[in-house]
Amino acid sequence: MTYANPNRNVKIIRLGLADYQKTWDYQQQLFDEIVALKVQNRNSNVQKPTPNYLITCEHPLVYTLGKSGSEDHLLLDEQALESINAAFYKINRGGDITHHGPGQLVVYPVLDLENFYTDIHKYLRQLEEAVILTLAEFGIRAGRYEGYTGVWIDSDKPTARKICAMGVKCGRWVTMHGLALNVSNDLSFFNHIIPCGINDKAVTSIEKESPEKTPNMLEVEQALTRNIAQLFDMNF
């Protein structure tokens, strides 16, 4: 279901380079506040609009493992993680293991989907579409790889490579976690994992794929948030 008077206003929160644990805690705080308001609304005659947020950031070196992933897909032990100054977290999103680092744009939508639509499949596909449209603006043709979430280059060829990973949590139609788009990050750190549990496909970035000058992080962030807003009919 959706609300009779949905709130399509979304607050963008730009955190810059942000610690993973602190950002995760912040997402959880916003998520819990929205859920609490929804419960309050159900028990009240006065219906208060639920807020929506779009967090953008980069993270210091970190590996995160989703609920459906295998710890065997992390190819480093604790000592090796310390040697490259990287953190590791088991987290409450879907998906397998991925890597975050400087130069990668991370977007965490914390939305009450009842303000938009209650269809998690559509939600994931629209996030992918926003990335596909954004990459097209920078001269990169991207698409989907059947059977997998995320955004890929040459998805119909043996040279298929992933440029954007996705993993979300949704509870009471409130979302958290989101997507990670490789812009100009050091891709060698993906060599320490089996990314998303897929061991026969490479990862890539805008910097590696762009036929022209690599856009800066702000340009990519502005394009991506604009495309998300258009697809979801959001107001910033």
Torsion sign (Cα): 219, 165, 65, 75: negative
| 196: annotated active-site residue | yes
As a whole number of angstroms, the distance between CA 94 and CA 107 comes to 15
As a whole number of angstroms, the distance between CA 205 and CA 3 comes to 38
SS3 63: strand
As a whole number of angstroms, the distance between CA 56 and CA 16 comes to 7
Q: Which of 57, 164, 170, 196 is catalytic?
A: 196
Type of residue found at 78: E
Closest CA to 58 of 223, 216, 174: 216
Cβ within 8 Å of residue 147, ≥6 positions away: none
As a whole number of angstroms, the distance between CA 153 and CA 98 comes to 18
Enumerate the active-site residues.
196
